Amino acid sequence: HTQHAAGMAGVIKMVMAMRHGVLPRSLHLDEPTSHVDWDAGAVELLSQAREWSVGEQPRRAGVSSFGISGTNAHVIVEEGDPAPVTELAGGRVGMPVVPWVVSARSEEALRARLDQAASVTGDPVDVGWSLVTSRSVFAHRAVLLGGNWEELVSSAPVVASGSARGVGVLFAGQGGQRVGMGRELYEAFPVFRAAFDEVCAGLGVPVEQAVVSGEGLGRTGLAQPALFALQVAQFRLLSSWGVSPGVLVG
């Protein structure tokens, strides 16, 4: 089960079906269920792949997601107009977004490197390639994104000022638990360890034992408290690194 990403495989499948013009056959089907009257409507299962040609109207498909936590969703996917392909010199295909990875030994040096972006000349793709293949990588890093030289250069002051978009934190539901989860973080980071122990002490259930041994971790009464303790500890660890979310969900 893809857990929190349930439904994404269906979306990818439909996008690829539209791209290649083929409806794939229904997998793992030996005998259709008898609870559906297959002769009464227009619903059918595909025993073989079928051509999906372009008609007068855009092709559309419905994708349902039945998440392991009980979240159900349905989306309609519609094909869009073909994206234009830009041919560059030498037959190279243009990229819609180019990353420039900039790094330095300190925060001040990184800002200085970003301020120098306006003086960079040359093809944006070539510059991006050179930055990741011919430059040393240091601890302080930033990434500029843009579809052309102007967008890349104009984003440098925004990144240098630290006024980037906010961060959201999602506390996920049941389904992601596993034996030993968080062990590496618990051993490596005192902040994580202290937060995890603090939450477990107030829960009144043997969370630590369940996480270490896996015993009872599949039961809701232990799985959800264990995930809560883990995610609170992760949040405290991120906060200690200066990550301040603008919104909490979950």
Centre a 10 Å sphere on the Cβ of residue 117 and count the other Cβ atoms it contains: 21
Instruction: Answer whether residue 84 is part of any domain.
Output: no
Taking the complete model, does pTM exceed 0.85, yes or no?
no
Residue 220 belongs to a domain = yes
- CA-CA distance, 34 to 157, in Å (whole number)? 63
Q: Could you tell me the CATH number of the domain that includes residue 224?
A: 3.40.366.10
**Residue 88 parent element (H or E):** none
Token pair for 188:
């490596």
E strand or H helix that includes residue 207: helix 207-213
Is there a domain that residue 68 lies in?
A: yes
Amino acid at 63: V
C-alpha span between 76 and 64 (Å, rounded): 9
139 and 183 fall within a common domain: no
Question: By CB neighbour count within 10 A (0-12 exposed, 13-18 middle, 19+ buried), where does 230 fall?
Answer: buried
- Half-sphere exposure of 240 toward its Cβ, with a 13 Å CA cutoff? 13
Cβ atoms of 248 and 228 closer than 8 Å: no
- Could you tell me if residue 83 is inside a domain? no
pLDDT (tens place) for every residue of the chain, 250 residues total: 667 677 888 899 999 999 899 999 988 888 888 888 888 877 888 888 999 988 888 999 999 888 766 778 889 999 988 766 555 555 555 567 888 888 889 988 988 888 888 788 888 888 888 888 888 888 888 888 888 888 888 888 878 777 667 788 888 776 677 787 888 888 888 999 899 889 888 888 887 878 877 777 677 777 888 888 888 998 999 888 878 888 888 7
